[in-house]
Amino acid sequence: MTKKILITGALGQIGTELTVSMRKHYGADNVIASDIITEVPEGALKGGLYEVVDVVKPDQIASVVKKYNVNQIVHLAAILSAVGEAKPHLAWDVNMGGLFNVLEVARETKAAVFTPSSIAAFGPSTPPDNTPQDTLQRPTTMYGVTKVAGELLCDYYFLKYGVDTRGVRFPGLISYEALPGGGTTDYAVHIYYDALKHKRYTSYINKGTSMDMMYMPDALDAIMHLMEADPNKLIHRNAFNVTAMSFDPEVLAAEIKKHIPEFIIGYDVDPVRQRIADSWPNSLDDSAARMEWGWSPKYNLASMTTDMLAKLKIKLAL
């Protein structure tokens, strides 16, 4: 069956690249990008089908799904961790309301659904090192609360209604196309821009704070790979731990210094984002994803840094 894919939140950090990548893979006319933003910024998404969809409004999702006979929804529209702590009501409405609306439309139309969870679905009582696939989940952020509830809701729609729901717990994602949208791990993107532009970076996350991370090409691969996986082999459908590397700001800075020897890192710690980071794992165990659908990232810290700096140099015309 030809895939007809709707991407929500397509103008964000992941969607900007996923849309282009999925269009190459599945055909330009089979991937419909959507977002709450009415005007697509110049150059974003490289043209192609685009619809304004506010995921809080179920009719808007349903009407686009019916218009294009969509049979797969990649649901990326969300409020991330730092913005979610500043605006918890909005995070609840968009993250929970939006997911519920997407799942309801999927139930009615029999569409499959991909929804990313996050390392934020864990909390301070979770074992922080080599965090198991199945473990304690008592997050202390509104974003994390919506992510755990979202994992459960997706399980529920599969068990009760047979909706083909799938998902991963993404770590911090690092990319050079679109800037991140207000998370805690964003420092690991901004540091590359500042290293190239100013040869220094002031980190709002303290040294010694390790978090899982992944380069965007691996994240895109994870989404497409999981949605193509044999459903009979999936035990943990909606919340696979996936990771590619784990580092703290000092380790990242040392890697950048190999390319830009003058680079220096300083610290001006933001207590809100530091508290969030401290509540998340240091490193995940992603063996379930490896075993159940063959997850295997291609980039480590060294290869990601080489590629990021090369691509950003071109983007920033340096």
Q: Which residues are catalytic?
A: 143
Nearer to ligand NAD, 100 or 257 (CB): 100
Nearer to ligand NAD, 80 or 145 (CB): 80
Chain residues that interact with ligand NAD, rule: CB under 6 A: 8-9, 11-15, 35-37, 53-56, 76-78, 80, 94, 98, 116, 118, 170, 172-173, 180-181, 183, 185
184 binds, among ligand NAD, ligand SER, none (CB under 5 to 8 A by kind): ligand SER
14 binds, among ligand NAD, ligand SER, none (CB under 5 to 8 A by kind): ligand NAD
Rounded to 5 degrees, what are φ and ψ at 53? -135, 115
Task: State how far the alpha carbon of 80 is from the alpha carbons of 18, 94, 116, 176, 267, in Å.
Answer: 18, 10, 12, 18, 23
Minimum CB distance to ligand NAD, residue 2 (Å): 25
Nearest CA among 59, 17, 22, 20 for reference residue 5: 22
Q: At what angle do helices 249-257 and 187-198 cross, to 10 degrees?
A: 30
220 binds, among ligand SER, ligand NAD, none (CB under 5 to 8 A by kind): none
Residue nearest to ligand SER (CB): 183
249 binds, among ligand SER, ligand NAD, none (CB under 5 to 8 A by kind): none
Minimum CB distance to ligand SER, residue 152 (Å): 17
Minimum CB distance to ligand SER, residue 197 (Å): 22
157 binds, among ligand SER, ligand NAD, none (CB under 5 to 8 A by kind): none
Helical spans, DSSP H, in the chain: 13-26, 58-67, 81-86, 88-91, 98-109, 142-161, 187-198, 216-228, 249-257, 271-279, 287-293, 301-315
Minimum CB distance to ligand NAD, residue 27 (Å): 23
Chain residues that interact with ligand SER, rule: CB under 6 A: 80-81, 118-120, 172, 183-185
Task: State how far the alpha carbon of 264 is from the alpha carbons of 132, 187, 195, 268, in Å.
Answer: 35, 14, 8, 14
CA distance 297 to 234: 19
Minimum CB distance to ligand SER, residue 172 (Å): 4
